[in-house]
Amino acid sequence: MTSARLTVRRCGHLALATGACVAVCLAGGTPAASAGQPGRLDVGGLARTYSLHVPAGLEHPAGLVVNLHGAGAIGAGWEWETNYDAVADAHGFVVVYPDGIDFSWADGRGASVPDRQGVDDVGFITGLVAKLVSDFGVDPGHVYATGMSAGAFMANRLACERADVFAAIAPVAGTLGVNVGCAPSRPVAVLVTHGTADPVVPFNGGPMVGRGGPSDIISAPELAARFRQAGGDVVLKQIDGLGHIWPGDAAEASAQFFASHSR
């Protein structure tokens, strides 16, 4: 097991995410247009939707990445904002962008409509993973999750509850609610990326108010410590002065992290 804390400078280019309370920091300033394929999966009586990207001519996927949008967004919009398709092409990953109910996730904090309605997002996402692993011949030991803000909270819950499914996660600007237990059944590799100046999801934890309402959360260092206790390779990437944004290198950094962690 290894761990580290990285301090990097703030990126200078920001683009506001349409329909979501997030910002994206991209080297080129403007992401490429989405070319995802829409999909549907019926889970628990609900028709759940997603956007799927498969690199052209890919015969043997290096893995499957679940990329989760923040509150107020949808999967296809998040696909466009993060430009993750290009990174997936370079690394040979199939990448899926699920849609949350009411543009959010049941991440366990109780601060979203799907949480309050008892939506089983853990079941939806793991069911979607099972389908795509089967459809595209993905090695089950090469399944990963990333996401920002509410999407990061959801990715963390997935690792806490379904460590048997996810080999590694890369949450950005999201931790866990203080009321959310986390006892992974096996080690999960985790790349935590969080800005110290995040005004929405405080780096040091405490009260926060998101789209769905207030919640109390743990700090980014505490999140890393919890996963480290389970024995996984955990990296805390602390970005001094960074606010509530997706850093320009987040997609590539997560893909490289995933490529080096499998079961």
Given pLDDT bands bounded at 50, 70 and 90, which one contains residue 3?
very low
Mean pLDDT of 128-140: 98
The one-letter amino acid at 129: V
Q: What is the span of the domain harbouring residue 11?
A: 3-259
Question: What pLDDT shows up at residue 47?
Answer: 95
CA 247 to chain centre: 13
Mean pLDDT of 4-30: 34
Question: What pLDDT shows up at residue 124?
Answer: 98
Given pLDDT bands bounded at 50, 70 and 90, which one contains residue 35?
low
Please indicate whether residue 45 or residue 203 has the higher confidence score (pLDDT).
203
Question: What pLDDT shows up at residue 36?
Answer: 84
> What is the spatial distance between Cα 29 and Cα 248, in angstroms, rounded to a whole number?
9
> What is the spatial distance between Cα 258 and Cα 166, in angstroms, rounded to a whole number?
10
What three-state secondary structure class fits 19?
coil
Q: Which residues are catalytic?
A: 149
Question: Which of 10-14, 63-67, 112-116 has the lowest average pLDDT?
Answer: 10-14
Q: Residues 31, 228: contact at Cβ < 8 Å?
A: no
Given pLDDT bands bounded at 50, 70 and 90, which one contains residue 23?
very low
Mean pLDDT of 133-145: 98
Q: Residues 15, 30: contact at Cβ < 8 Å?
A: yes
| pLDDT of 34 higher than 80 | no
Given pLDDT bands bounded at 50, 70 and 90, which one contains residue 44?
confident
What three-state secondary structure class fits 39?
strand
| pLDDT of 200 higher than 50 | yes
The one-letter amino acid at 207: P
The 10s digit of each residue's pLDDT in 145-195 is 999 999 999 999 999 999 999 999 999 999 999 999 999 999 999 999 999
Question: What pLDDT shows up at residue 166?
Answer: 98
State the alpha helices, DSSP H only, in 118-259: 121-136, 150-161, 220-229, 250-259
Question: What pLDDT shows up at residue 98?
Answer: 98
Place of tokens 């993973």: 129
Beta partners for residue 3, in sequence order: 234
The 10s digit of each residue's pLDDT in 229-255 is 999 999 999 999 999 999 999 999 999
Number of domains in the chain: 1
Give the tokens for residue 98: 């699920």
CATH no. for residue 193?
3.40.50.1820
User: Do strands 189-195 and 168-172 pair parallel, antiparallel, or not at all (unpaired)?
Assistant: parallel
> What is the spatial distance between Cα 140 and Cα 130, in angstroms, rounded to a whole number?
9
Please indicate whether residue 36 or residue 61 has the higher confidence score (pLDDT).
61
The residue count for the chain: 263
- Give the max Cα distance, the chain: 47
Whole-number average pLDDT of the chain: 89
| pLDDT of 5 higher than 70 | no
